[in-house]
Structure 1
């Protein structure tokens, strides 16, 4: 059994593994894992940022930010979840299981974040205990994978997420000029999936504004 699954408080691990769909079908089974997921996301963002900061002393902010996004994106966290054995330990509702929940990258990555948050609490909020768990996982990701993912445009990444999780129709961007001068205009873009707005961003041209809107949408998904 992976060290990440060894808890002093077994009820905390149980909650971390419990998806909303399971609680909906089993109302007496306690809380779902979304609050722990929120905490785990924050812990992972800090540790991955520190990890990259220390290992790449000559990289700038933009490059480090892209690499961090690649290191803790949905696809990579889902792989970590499987690697530590969370997949078939997830407590899912019957409908989620029928829909392939044990292999669903979104559910896997969310559960991994929740377990990280729970492990942090189970170790008296000791970040060192979590660092000892996650740094070997970060080390296991080949450098070329991180680099290739970090170079994928945010619009492409958001479109991939939409087509994987909602429908095959690409997101729609609505961009207008909102200010600035003729030689230095400012644009604002909004990105929609169907009729629902997912993100908003500004830029010096339409391309930059649309990219910022996609980045906003991806950030909200986390």
Structure 2
């Protein structure tokens, strides 16, 4: 029988902590070693506990989850997997968390099943990124002109029509389309439009009426 995944919980909300602790300890293959509500105490004891995974809140007194993550990564690197729980779904917070090396950034509204899956996936070395964040990154990868071109492709405009509408040359339109398809990882105009709708990039921008 394989060893259970050992977990430490860090959260200053007693009800959240107790509920998650009880649920994880009922999950086969997972063992909660200890719970903490004080990040300073947690950091002083983490070395002797040697957990596989740390599940913690972002907003805590004295040290927030970002600072705790930074210190854990500096000391233990990849040997400790980190899952952050947050009531904040700001894109900037998610980027910061993944830049620091977390394996998952979950909303506090996440189900126990989603947290359990994140724990198992982190042990496989997988980094879980939300579809919303992927969509945001995809949109941010496009230049303003590329977004304009993509919207006109979705309106079934030809390259010549797009060129006239944006007052650029047809060759420049072709360059933009090539760039869009490369960034989206697709091979055609249709693929770019499909990807654009899937990511939520298309459908929100209303083009001005033609004169």
Q: Pick the structure with more helix per residue.
A: 1
User: TM-score normalized by structure 1?
Assistant: 0.23
User: TM-score normalized by structure 2?
Assistant: 0.24
Question: Which structure's relative contact order is higher, taking Cα pairs within 8 Å and 6+ residues apart?
Answer: 1
